[in-house]
Chains A and B, each alone.
Chain A
């Protein structure tokens, strides 16, 4: 890393311009908990590291209208956790983000970094997909917005072009009788990478599901939005037959790898189980249990 330059950008424009000029050899630095490890181990050798934590838009949590949040890409787990209203409205997103690493990591690691690192097993991503977040991106050609489920195109690969940065995540306005949950399976209870992760976000009124989004992580090259799940769940009372049916859909859509941490069969089966458990947890949260 001895040739690397460091720049602390104070505006989005400054960061984007510096990144564009570096022509593919620059990296944005938020918490650094992935990037600095990658640099130390020689996986990445950027000529320029652009610190984006001092840019206001990236480091703020804003309630733009009642129950509608925009969270900056460099906000850390510790800081998101301190926003009591966000925590109450999006418990599943928060628990997913808070599962990442130790307290030391939580003090630095950013929500945007977990997304941009592009791991199929990133814990925050299924919860954000279930939440229905929109990614706000800035680049040399201006700003654009895309649904977060379209952000990843392969392991370590995202839609970001040269010079583009993830600025923030826009959450949909939180409706009443809605909640979310994220569950993951790891061989250890802490400090581990998901073998399967599942995010569920539901609106449930008078015993009828009126909106549902389900997402799975670590079971395919990218985190998945299970569109079929929403179709089956909406309009139902989420009885055990419905949950069995969706659980099967989840398992059918799994396309995981076989590795030391989980076989294809194991990951597939666990995906179905986690969907059911996360859904039951979400329903409990909506009912205030």
Chain B
């Protein structure tokens, strides 16, 4: 069966790949492009551990076909730090111990980044609703929510 050729921009680099019609975006990221930061946990859009930013929108990469990404811009966790310097959210998650086992963390970071991209000063309620699509079985969420709110505050002060 003929493979489908797809041209995308992933983390600001032009990336072309060949995929099967049934490959999900997550399959291609992890198995072909070796971008294994996005995790597969539920595979059905419930847990958010495969979250990426597609043309500016937060999506589950397990719930889209790799073929659908033709012409799109993708951001994955691998593109979050710049020049070896951690993104403010990554740094704050470390400082505030907003992770334990770490499986959900790339998804939480992408979701948190998408939130602050759209809404730089969210309320605690807005953070909790926004992150409701990301499941964490370790932290109890509180440290994650506080980390995101602190980064938003830091951004305000430095603005």
Contact = CB atoms under 8 A, between A and B. Distances in A.
Interface of A: 1-6, 8, 29, 32-33, 36-37, 39-41, 49, 51, 53, 76, 78, 101-105, 107-108, 190-191
Interface of B: 1, 4, 20-22, 24, 43-46, 48, 51, 54, 57-60, 63-65, 67-68, 70, 111, 114-115, 129-130, 132-134
A6 B45 contact: no
A103 B64 contact: no
A6 B3 CA distance: 10
Contact of B21 (A5, A33, A102): A5
Given A1-B22, A5-B21, A37-B63, A105 B130 contact: no
Given A8-B67, A190-B132, A107 B45 contact: no
Contacts, number: 84
Given A6-B67, A36-B64, A37-B45, A190 B59 contact: no
B45 A105 contact: yes
A86 B63 CA distance: 27
Contacts of A104: 45, 48, 51, 58-60, 63, 111, 133
B58 A6 contact: no
A265 to B, nearest CB: 30
15 contacts: A2-B20, A4-B21, A6-B4, A8-B67, A37-B63, A39-B22, A40-B43, A41-B44, A103-B114, A103-B133, A104-B51, A104-B59, A104-B133, A105-B133, A107-B58
Contacts of A76: 57
A78 B55 CA distance: 12
Nearest to B51: A104
Nearest to B64: A32
Contact of A108 (B64, B115, B132): B64
A103 B111 CA distance: 9
B65 A6 contact: yes
B45 A49 contact: no
Contacts of B54: 107
A102 B63 contact: no
Contacts of B65: 6, 29, 32, 36, 49, 51
B145 to A, nearest CB: 14
Given A37-B44, A37-B63, A2 B22 contact: yes
